[in-house]
Structure 1
Amino acid sequence: MSARLLLFTGKGGVGKTTLAAATSAALAAGGRKALVVSTDPAHSLGDAFGVPLGSAPTEVDAGLHAAQVDPRTLVDGTWRELRGHLRTVLAGAGVDELDAEELTVLPGVEELLALAEVARLTRTGPWDVVVVDCGPTAETLRLLALPEAVAGYLERLFPTHRRVVRGLLAGLAGTAAPVERWDATADALGRLAENLEQLRGLLTADTTAVRLVLTPERVVAAETRRTVTALALQGIRVDGVIANRLVPHPGAGRGPAATWLRTRRAEQDAVLASLDLGPVRTVEHHAREPVGLAALLEVAEALYAGADPLAGSGAAGPLVDVVRVDDEYELRLALRVGDSELELARVGDDLAVTVDGRRRLIALPSLLRRCVVVGAELDDDGVAVRFRPDPDLWMR
């Protein structure tokens, strides 16, 4: 049975590292084998535990290990061989050697290798749960989209039907390079394609979930809503939203300090009420910085209140669902669009959905491929695209 994977992300400075560390500490205290890994370039996971961490898992407590992935080392090792193979492909296509060197510097490769390392640890370690302290939301969204993007790049550069036929690409290139070299390139890029497919499968699996951390501020809340939509477009499940650093209730206290606390807490409560993202767990602001295992366990108790940390506060349903309404069909997309800019377009057998510039092609079920789009509507549950059977195609 594969380990559960929990990814914590949020706008920079909201406390996601502390909450990821606290969650992993609580899981280990409850008897599970937990690993918490930081992929954030600005590593602070070791600071949260108060212990030095490296790229190899370090035991922090019984059943609890932690690590900080060093993508630079991964690039110098794993990526060097693959770049050599990619240069072989480009040279065979007639690309100048210097240009080939530049083209094989793929944007985001460090983040991609960091994610691959998390997948390796999840797959090979003895862990019941792997908790990931991701970078800020913008970086995390780019990170989680990389496997699909790079897979598309690889397929255009070196299609599958050419990789599987031994020696074919060498013959097409017409170069003097040995056939064995081309076959080695095909094998290496084939393994890369398989690894990318496995990464995409891991991110969209039922055992993987994202927890979004925010502070109750309108700008942060707006970014959180956009992140939920962007993750839904990628088919990645969000199983909880955590509001961190709520100011404590002043009770019946008087004076300027109590007045300030009441006013600030009322503003924070209003932001949370407007989120419309289902149940939200909350953590009040502590006077002391939570550093060290004991302090992190206190944070976990405030966060989960004795409940199982693996139990999310809300589970997302499927991104796509099809229902019949009279003589038409509705394709329902579970996207909370809000104030975001939404664009829909039919592209052959796909529906292109673009939200705030993020585009996803959704393959239409075979039933709807024989239909024409007649309209679309927005409601509180998402987007409903209406289809009507095309008489010219319906009986085929």
Structure 2
Amino acid sequence: MRILLFTGKGGVGKTTLAAATAARLAVGGRKVLVCSADPAHSLGDAYGLPLGSTPSEVDTCLYAAHVDARGLVDRSWQELRRQLHTAFAGVGLDELDAAELTVLPGVDELLALTEVARLAERGPWDVVVVDCGPTAETLRLLALPEAVAGYLRRLRGPARTVLRHSADPLGRLAEHLGRLRRLLVDPAVTSVRVVLTPERLVVAETRRTLAALALRGIRVDGLVANRLAPRASRWRGPAASWLRTRRAEQDAVLAELDASTSLPVHLVEHRAVEPVGTGRLLELAEELYGEADPLLAPFAAAEPPPLLRLRAVSDSVHELGIALPLSDSSSLELARVGDDLAITVDGVRRLVSLPVLLHRHAVTDAEANEAGLVLRFEAEAGTGAAEPGRPA
């Protein structure tokens, strides 16, 4: 079973391309579920059909659904909230604080992602295609399992005495989030396809998205540049001149993007007729994929390298490579937090556990190259924490 996530800046056409990809996969004989985790829920509009929270048949082998995050909160959160309230109150938090703490920010998105995983694991699907929200919401969504699991690990410490003789809701939730996180970072199961339009602002956001997803350990298998102006080499007149100028500008932007990433970039021209319904969506998929399988070449990007790679320079000096696709405009900060390394790229932060070998080493240098970052660690006298490191 494969999970394919489509995301991109709002308005670039990710919903249409997710719907077209799902339709193409179904025509190829796979049983496909395409679901929308985007609060805007325009997936039904792409197929020209009303959709609900229960998967419904759109065509042969093709099913679709809208993930109703608000309904999931109403149905599922109250019981968990009651259990967490008991746990928090039992460790000395007063009634008001306990109530406040159990209204976790992002719970709608977390339950939406949980529902996608449930549908993927329990249904008869060969492929689950997910129409995610705009990029910022998607990055927050994909970060939630790891972030919330981290909070729960801290909470379980003081709560263990209270929960020792009863069910441990924090433990169960942390275990569930761990499974969800493992599903997301398994490159054999889950990958992201980023949709963009060939405009400099959109491409700049796409580069930040690629770095943020790499930081989360989530595989990106390709980029789709949508809504290219058609070539008008044989046309004459003001409209043709405008189209040629616009396409030349878009080609220049795409050339810069190609030079900055090893990911395959696939092109889709702007269409005169809105692609609504499975017939027109399949025409769009034909332009995008040709004869290729949408899950294989040309979207078969190599498995991403591990985030961290350790190399011994000498007995006391080691280099730590961090595989991040950075651009000249990337905002990057590194800091040592105990035995963890806090990496912040364009406002997206993640704590990464350092290899045990480096726990008594200090960061002495850092530089960026085409593979990402390289940090130099040297053994320090004593056991004090290393100073924060930041590349120039």
Mapping of 1:8-47 within 5 angstroms? 8-47=6-45
- The size of the alignment, in residue pairs, is 374
Structure 1, unmatched stretches of 5+, are 172-178
Mapping of 1:80-159 within 5 angstroms? 80-159=78-157
> How far did residue 363 of structure 1 move?
1.5
Asked if the contact 2:362–2:377 (Cα under 8 Å) also holds between the matched residues in 1, the reply is yes
Mapping of 1:370-385 within 5 angstroms? 370-385=360-375
Mapping of 1:117-266 within 5 angstroms? 117-159=115-157, 163=160, 168-169=161-162, 183-184=166-167, 186=168, 188-206=169-187, 207-266=189-248
Asked if the contact 1:32–1:129 (Cα under 8 Å) also holds between the matched residues in 2, the reply is yes
> How far did residue 283 of structure 1 move?
0.5
Pairing 1:277–2:268 present: no
Q: SS of the counterpart of 1:282?
A: strand
Asked if the contact 2:91–2:159 (Cα under 8 Å) also holds between the matched residues in 1, the reply is no
Pairing 1:353–2:343 present: yes
1:322 aligned residue (299, 307, 310): 310
In structure 1, C-alpha distance between the alignment counterparts of 2:7 and 2:313, rounded to whole Å: 38
Spell out, residue by residue over 1:209-255, the C-alpha distance to the aligned partner (whole angstroms, 9 max, x if none): 11100000111100000011111111111111110000110023221
Asked if the contact 2:87–2:159 (Cα under 8 Å) also holds between the matched residues in 1, the reply is no
> Given the two structures, how large is their TM-score scaled by the length of structure 2?
0.91
With 215-224 and 381-390 compared, the bigger mean Cα shift is at 381-390
Residues 247 and 326 of structure 1: CA distance in aligned 2, closer, same or farther (over 3 Å):
farther
Letter in 2 for 1:203: L
Spell out, residue by residue over 1:304-341, the C-alpha distance to the aligned partner (whole angstroms, 9 max, x if none): 11111002253332222223446743211111222121
Pairing 1:369–2:350 present: no
Pairing 1:65–2:55 present: no
Spell out, residue by residue over 1:358-383, the C-alpha distance to the aligned partner (whole angstroms, 9 max, x if none): 22122222333343322111112211
Q: SS of the counterpart of 1:89?
A: helix
Asked if the contact 2:324–2:372 (Cα under 8 Å) also holds between the matched residues in 1, the reply is yes
> How far did residue 146 of structure 1 move?
0.7
Q: SS of the counterpart of 1:106?
A: coil
User: What RMSD in Å do the two structures reach over aligned CA positions?
Assistant: 1.8
Letter in 2 for 1:332: G
In structure 2, C-alpha distance between the alignment counterparts of 1:220 and 1:364, rounded to whole Å: 34
Residues 326 and 274 of structure 1: CA distance in aligned 2, closer, same or farther (over 3 Å):
farther
Letter in 2 for 1:247: A
In structure 2, C-alpha distance between the alignment counterparts of 1:391 and 1:106, rounded to whole Å: 43
> How far did residue 270 of structure 1 move?
1.0
Asked if the contact 1:241–1:313 (Cα under 8 Å) also holds between the matched residues in 2, the reply is no
> Given the two structures, how large is their TM-score scaled by the length of structure 1?
0.90
